[in-house]
Amino acid sequence: MTDSVDTLKLHARILHRDTLNAQPSALSRMRRLPELRKLGDADLPFQVKRRHCLSVIARELGFQGWGHAVHSLRDATTFGRLLYPPRCGGHTNIWCATYEDAQMIHAQRGGYLLAYQTQFFVVEDNYIRTLGLDPEDPDWGHIGRNWVEPVDPNARNRLCQKVIEASLCH
């Protein structure tokens, strides 16, 4: 089974290939890294390494860098900003500082319990659609609609891969 980190590595390989081929959108994405910002179109492809591409992909998904992305996706103790991309900012959600508070609200109101860095929030179907997922996806039931402590971690991994695809293709 492919995990979310492997999905990110695949996207980094594609970004690296596109950068080597000097595709303008790839060059623009690579210039988000301070160490590559000032390089011209002719020089940039020759300076880019795979580690740069991994860093760009991780940052685009709301992580501090590649190491943070791997830690967050594999250990699920910190969550980065993956589940709260800018396109979801217009939704009204219930935010909680502690997981226990979020659990209680989730139990009372239903919805989906998600995480943002070290905070937690409960959302409804429309948020999930904006995130790029199907609220009727059976994997939501498999995780108990709880991203933080899923009943089935493999189901969360599948949902995570879908979030990554939706975010990088958005």
Domain ranges of the chain: 4-75, 86-168
Alpha helices in the chain (DSSP H): 4-20, 24-30, 44-47, 50-60, 66-75, 99-109, 125-131, 138-142, 153-168
Q: Which two tokens stand for residue 133?
A: 């997922």
Query: Over 70: is that where the pLDDT of 170 sits?
Result: no
Three-state DSSP at 38 gives coil
- The half-sphere exposure of 6 on its side-chain side, counting CA atoms within 13 A, is 5
Measured CA to CA in angstroms, residue 37 lies from 1, 4, 84, 114 at distances of 36, 28, 26, 34
Query: Over 90: is that where the pLDDT of 11 sits?
Result: yes
Note the pLDDT of residue 9. Answer: 95
Instruction: Quote the mean pLDDT of the chain.
Output: 91
Instruction: Report CA 34 to chain centroid distance, whole Å.
Output: 22
pLDDT 10s digits, 55-102: 999 999 988 899 989 988 877 667 778 899 999 999 999 999 999 999
Q: How confident is the model at residue 3 (pLDDT cuts 50, 70, 90)?
A: confident
Question: Of 53, 62, 67, which Cα lies nearest the Cα of 20?
Answer: 53
Note the pLDDT of residue 1. Answer: 42
Query: Over 90: is that where the pLDDT of 120 sits?
Result: yes
Query: Over 60: is that where the pLDDT of 20 sits?
Result: yes
